Amino acid sequence: SHRLGGSTEQVARYQLGEALSQASPYLLLLSATPHQGKTDAFRRLLSFLDQDAFPEDDTINQESVAPYVIRTEKRHTIDADGNPLFKPRRTQLVTVPWSDAHQDQRVLYDSVTEYVREGYNQARREKNTAVGFLMILFQRLVTSSVCAIRTALEKRLDVLELPTGQLNLFGEDVGEQWAHLDSQEQMEAVLGSRMKGLKNERAEVELLLSAARRCEAKGPDTKAQVLLDWIHRLQREENDPKLKVLVFTEFVPTQAMLAEFLGNRGFEVVCLNGSLDLDERQEVQRAFSDKAQVLISTDAGGEGLNLQFCHIVFNYDLPWNPMKIEQRIGRVDRIGQAHVVRAQNFALEDTVELRVREVLEE
């Protein structure tokens, strides 16, 4: 039901919830993530239960919502016989080192980070929100994979070679609408727009693109090799050469790279992303439950999938939102899971990604 809160009271989802609340003599709202860090959306959700109790966001606090919320933490739930419904969960932060063989990739990361720093600061001075979002996106892409940043740089260069016009991507409520897109949708939206370039940006992008292509030509990413090592390690630990593994990434280019990388090394791989319709998604799920060993999913698969037959999750790259990580692991940490759930969160050492993860954990 958390979707019904919507981004504003004008959106159709909220209006549907409001109509149901007014028409129904009884109303039960079910959600594992009712708040999601946004007090205004949570207040709109509570307004379906009592229109008068929460007139403003500042009326939301633990005491005021207590009469309306029945909260049962996952680990405390039991069946009719008193047995826990969920298996234990083990999560681990895997700091991926830059190996000697991947120093070119490290230089690429540093170069993109410098480009992002300068571009973001320039965008802030010019109050250019869209370019600011683009810079943050590049920072996330470069820690995802060389393939992802190379693809994005190619698209950015194509746009810079066209006649430009500064476009307002989302209208007035840019931050809210941006937050509701998953990472792949953000990439498509911002890289598909003909926003004007920064000072000397075209030459900078050409240099970065050349470096990315050199890195890609030298072989697999350092994170991809560590992922392969971890899969083999867990196969040995669990004594299961057919161990099923769920891998999450934020971007389709990284997904395609990993599918090829693991496929070439003997794994049967299936992929799920936002381009698939409902029937195709269900077919991917059936294939994963049957013969496929690895499912690689973008955050389009972060909700709505029941994968209790798998208990190993790799967060190959990390969304800068802890709720999304929880939703990912929740695909396997479900009622009916027979094993201890193991989740490995990857982050490259000495990167912004690792720093964000440390902040989230603190």
For 7-53, how does the pLDDT look when each residue is reduced to its tens digit (9 = 90+)?
889 999 999 999 999 999 999 999 888 887 788 999 999 999 998 99
Q: What is the reported pLDDT for 193?
A: 67
Q: What mean pLDDT comes out for the span 292-304? A: 85
CA distance 223 to 137: 19
Q: What is the reported pLDDT for 165?
A: 54
Q: C-alpha angle with apex 102: 100 to 108, nearest 5 degrees?
A: 130
- Confidence label for 199 from pLDDT (cuts 50, 70 and 90): confident
CA distance 281 to 337: 21
CA distances from 110 to 177, 197, 212, 259 (A): 30, 21, 12, 26
CA distance 198 to 19: 47
Q: What mean pLDDT comes out for the span 253-277? A: 95
Secondary structure of the chain as H, E, C letters: CHHHHCCCCCCHHHHHHHHHHHHCCCCCCCCCCCCCCCHHHHHHHHHCCCCCCCCCHHHCCHHHHHHHCCCCCHHHCECCCCCECCCCEEEEEEEECCCHHHHHHHHHHHHHHHHHHHHHHHHHHCCCHHHHHHHHHHHHHHHHCHHHHHHHHHHHHHHHCCCCCCCCCCCCCHHHHHHCCCHHHHHHHHHCCCCCCCCCHHHHHHHHHHHHHHHHHCCCCHHHHHHHHHHHHHHHHCCCCCCCEEEECCCHHHHHHHHHHHHCCCCCEEEECCCCCHHHHHHHHHHHHCCCCEEEECHHHCCCCCCCCCCEEEECCCCCCHHHHHHHHCCCCCCCCCCCEEEEEEEECCCHHHHHHHHHHC
pLDDT (tens digit per residue) in 117-169: 999 998 888 887 778 888 989 999 999 999 999 999 999 888 888 765 545 45
Q: What is the reported pLDDT for 302?
A: 58
Q: What is the reported pLDDT for 172?
A: 47
> Which tokens is 177 given?
């609408």
Please name the residues in contact with 189: beta carbons below 8 A apart, sequence gap of 6 or more: 169, 170, 181
Q: What is the reported pLDDT for 107?
A: 95
Q: What is the reported pLDDT for 290?
A: 95
Among 108, 165, 115, residue whose Cα is nearest residue 142? 108
Averaged confidence pLDDT in the chain = 89
CA distance 302 to 328: 5
Q: What mean pLDDT comes out for the span 222-237? A: 97
pLDDT (tens digit per residue) in 244-256: 999 999 999 999 9
- Confidence label for 2 from pLDDT (cuts 50, 70 and 90): confident
Contact present, 152 and 191 (Cβ < 8 Å): yes
CA distance 357 to 362: 9
Q: What is the reported pLDDT for 177?
A: 63
Which of 175-179, 265-269, 315-319 is predicted least confidently? Answer: 175-179
CA distance 274 to 281: 9
Q: What is the reported pLDDT for 97?
A: 93
Measured in degrees and rounded to the nearest 5, phi and psi for residue 68 equal -105, -10
Measured in degrees and rounded to the nearest 5, phi and psi for residue 80 equal -65, -20
Q: What is the reported pLDDT for 24?
A: 94
Please name the residues in contact with 300: beta carbons below 8 A apart, sequence gap of 6 or more: 182, 184, 272, 273, 274, 276
Please name the residues in contact with 299: beta carbons below 8 A apart, sequence gap of 6 or more: 182, 183, 184, 248, 250, 319, 324, 327, 328
Strand partners, 21: none
Q: What mean pLDDT comes out for the span 220-237? A: 96
* Edge-first strand listing for the sheet containing 294-297: 89-96, 341-348, 312-315, 245-248, 294-297, 269-272
pLDDT (tens digit per residue) in 70-120: 988 888 899 999 999 999 999 999 999 998 889 999 999 999 999 999 999
Q: What is the reported pLDDT for 326?
A: 85
Q: What is the reported pLDDT for 169?
A: 54
Residue 319 has pLDDT above 90, yes or no: no
Contact present, 317 and 254 (Cβ < 8 Å): yes
